[in-house]
Structure 1
Amino acid sequence: MSTGLAAPTERATRPWVAAISLANAGLYTAWFGPILTLLGIQAERFAGDDKEAALAWILGIGALFSTAANPVFGALSDRTTSRFGRRLPWIVAGTTGGVASLVLLAFAPNLTVVTVGWCLAQLSLNANLAAITAAVPDHVPHRQRGTVGGYLGLAQTVGSVVGAGLAAAAGGITGGYLACAAFLVIATVPYVVMRRDLVLDRADRPPFSWTTFAKGFWVSPRRHPDFAWAWLTRFLINLGFAIGLVYLLYYLDDEVGYGDPETGVFLLSALNSLALLVTVVGAGALSDRVGRRRVFVLVAGVVMAGSTLSLGGWSTWPTTVAAVIVLGLGMGIFTSVDLALMIDVLPEAADRGKDLGVINIANALPQVLAPVIAAPLVATLGYPALYAAAAAAALAGAVLVFQIKSVR
């Protein structure tokens, strides 16, 4: 029986790729429905004029939980010897906890319960994310990772559109959360039913001690410089993206003067998704074909920076639409090669889940920092400064990707 530690050599099947992509879409629906719309509406309902600060606290505290949870659950999945596999039990547990958390948020009576519910959602959904991400190097060979990464990136964006759409169409906060919870379950079931997971033999499970477990979350930049540069690249580009999106609902309402900002967020998310469709799968397949990753990250960062700068320069609905489309093109290029690049620099096969969890901190930590950066920038300098900061972060990540030497 395979232990899951050897590098896979056979191509992942289309049904498996489709099922894990759908599960990923369900996961991001549960994330982005609240982030893009529902949490902002609740912050405004309970905090009034202090909505920006309230939303910053909710997202920031929740992201701290996300930052800690992802590598922990990844490490736990590395050591799981269930007969159902290493990753599948955590996908089931994360989905179950995510549904319960979204139900709690649906009926939250105040900001305290909203914050607690969002923190629980971050814990649960990160258990799911850690397992899904680690399943890719378990099953996908090197020559196919760009393509599969493209499909997972596409699923992430589709999830954001579905989340925003369900939040807008469900007719209220309660309906929005319950709709997102239902879609999470529906999207995850096909992957779970397939039961295609690699089982770790007990003899191959790494010995456990709390000291070793804690130390394992530090990956030395000196010993593994490419891992460190890849982490920083992902962090900076995701920081730029998070800064650009964190106040999109309020930007449409307060700066653009769009009459229905909730519907506006949904429309923009849909356009972003359509633009991403143009680049995400094709760029990933092209990356596999030419054997290069870094140049795609450079192009993506430059394109994303241009789009966010235009948001700060021209606060009109047509400009916002165009900028979001361009942002989707850039994000599609980045996400198509991002996961493949990260997997290519992993230090140890036995710690795939944990190391990918550490890398995924580069996704979660920007959620903490984005509202911290955004709130004072908007309050003191306005939205042009906010989107200039987003552009600077994306450009920095695009340039620093060339410090990675083991990946072309």
Structure 2
Amino acid sequence: MTAAPPGVVQAPTDRVPLRWILAFSLAVTGMFVGWYGPLQILLAKQAELFAPTGKEGLLALVTGIGALFSLIANPLWGALSDRTVSRYGRRLPWIAGGTLVGAGGLLLLATATGVPMMIVGWVLVQTALNAPFAALSAAIPDQVPVSQRGVAGGYFGVAQTVGSAAGVGLAVTGGGISGGYLACAVFVVVSAVPYLLIRRDQVLPAALRPAWSRREFLAGFWISPARHPDFAWAWLTRFLINLGNALALLYLLFYLKEEVKVADPDGAVLILTGVNAVTLLITVMVAGVWSDRVGNRRAFVTWSGVIMAVAGFLLAGWPTWIGVTIAALVLGVGFGAFTSVDFALMTQVLPAELNRGKDLGVINVANSLPQVLAPAIAAPIVAYAGGYPTLYVASSVIALAGAALVYRIKSVR
């Protein structure tokens, strides 16, 4: 094979400039606006509009189908971006295309007149926005040195948090369901522009692109736990903690309305998202910088899972506005630390540097698969197995399991 130019298959050593970090963070923010405006507010309101007596089941169906497409799309787009030969680079074409199509899916949701259009629109959003998500995730190991990845993961977490909060804000203040989707779509497109204009991306020489083989391409998505045990344990850790978090957040709007009995559930979600965001924004950067300095990623991941579990127990046993607010604060602390440090840890267990996009896509299945499973787990628990208290206890137990298993990873402290 032809020798690779520096930074294509080798770990980068030069620190990334501030303008790249800011543009990168804004692009990530836009993705999460496109996801969390619908997930936290708009899809739930549409489900209640189209099926008032079966809103929980419809919301579970729509989010579950969308997440199923998401878990396939992310590693697929990542693998294709690894192989992309373009004068603009490997990742930028997927960021541009996925952003535009994802915004189109949000516009389709804005005009949905029934359940079928709602499902198609959300599937389009989930499938398309995973292209920039896969490409931007791979940009960190592509361009950021290991010594700066905790900080980079912190910025990624900040962008995720700001995007989630901004998505909820746009959904609530956008002027109804259609206006909320339109506002999110515009933000998604505008936020990607600065990163695309910088055009800082690795260009893959045609000589380095592997010859096409469908069999080898598909087989590449299986990463053997026996050959790469640290990768497998890292995947399982992320999966469990994200599953616990997904269970805690899925029915938040309904929990506030039916269990806590707040007068304005939409406004309450917005307030809690803001509370959660403030604590998360603080801890995501502190934990990222701290883990870079001490070089111990696993301890941070463990304690973040424990703290998130505490939030779930609070929601289960203290269904009051004060209790929920404290739980939001605690959850922000835990998930903030987890977001930055776990991302840095993941980039250090990737099996092959030439396949960063694909391998991170496989890792990101641990983000999207919980969205598929959470509705299937949560709906019967709420309906038949003790309601919301049981649901939040289950989310805490799952998070604790993920926190414990991170110590099976041996190659990273």
- TMscore range, shorter length: over 0.9
Instruction: Give structure 2 stretches of 5+ with no counterpart.
Output: none
Is 2:181 the partner of 1:177?
yes
Is 2:82 the partner of 1:78?
yes
CA distance in 1, matches of 2:399, 2:263: 30
Question: What code does the residue aligned with 1:6 have?
Answer: Q
**Which contiguous aligned blocks of 4+ residues in structure 1 show a shift greater than 2 angstroms?**
none
Deviates more, 1:26-35 or 1:256-265: 256-265
1:222-273 CA distance string (max 9 Å, x none): 0000000000000000000000000001001111101111111111111100
Identity %: 58
CA distance in 1, matches of 2:181, 2:20: 28
Match of 2:328 in 1: 324
Is 2:239 the partner of 1:208?
no
Q: Is the 8 Å Cα contact of residues 3 and 204 (structure 1) preserved in structure 2?
A: no
1:349-399 CA distance string (max 9 Å, x none): 111000000000000000001111110101111111000110011100000
1:268-291 CA distance string (max 9 Å, x none): 111100011221101101100001
CA distance in 2, matches of 1:121, 1:208: 29
Match of 2:40 in 1: 36
**How many Å apart are 1:178 and its aligned residue?**
0.5
Is 2:397 the partner of 1:392?
yes
Match of 1:19 in 2: 23
Q: Secondary structure at the residue paired with 2:51?
A: helix
Q: Secondary structure at the residue paired with 2:52?
A: helix
Question: What code does the residue aligned with 2:72 have?
Answer: A
From 117, 121, 132, the equivalent of 2:125 is 121
CA distance in 2, matches of 1:32, 1:93: 20
CA distance in 1, matches of 2:133, 2:147: 23
Match of 1:193 in 2: 197
Give the structure-2-normalised TM-score: 0.98
Match of 2:237 in 1: 233
Deviates more, 1:214-223 or 1:180-189: 180-189
**How many Å apart are 1:3 and its aligned residue?**
6.3
Q: Secondary structure at the residue paired with 1:48?
A: coil
Q: Secondary structure at the residue paired with 2:192?
A: helix
**How many Å apart are 1:2 and its aligned residue?**
5.0
Is 2:409 the partner of 1:404?
yes
From 353, 364, 371, the equivalent of 2:368 is 364
1:316-368 CA distance string (max 9 Å, x none): 11110110011000001101101110000000011100000000000000000
Instruction: Give structure 1 stretches of 5+ with no counterpart.
Output: none
Q: Is the 8 Å Cα contact of residues 248 and 395 (structure 2) preserved in structure 1?
A: yes
- Name the count of aligned residue pairs: 408
Is 2:383 the partner of 1:375?
no
CA distance in 2, matches of 1:48, 1:134: 41
Question: What code does the residue aligned with 2:161 have?
Answer: T
Match of 1:8 in 2: 12
**How many Å apart are 1:206 and its aligned residue?**
1.7
1:171-230 CA distance string (max 9 Å, x none): 200000000011111211110110110100000112221101110000000000000000
Give the structure-1-normalised TM-score: 0.99
**How many Å apart are 1:314 and its aligned residue?**
1.1
1:22-49 CA distance string (max 9 Å, x none): 1001100100000000000000000111
Question: What code does the residue aligned with 1:118 have?
Answer: W
Q: Secondary structure at the residue paired with 2:201?
A: coil
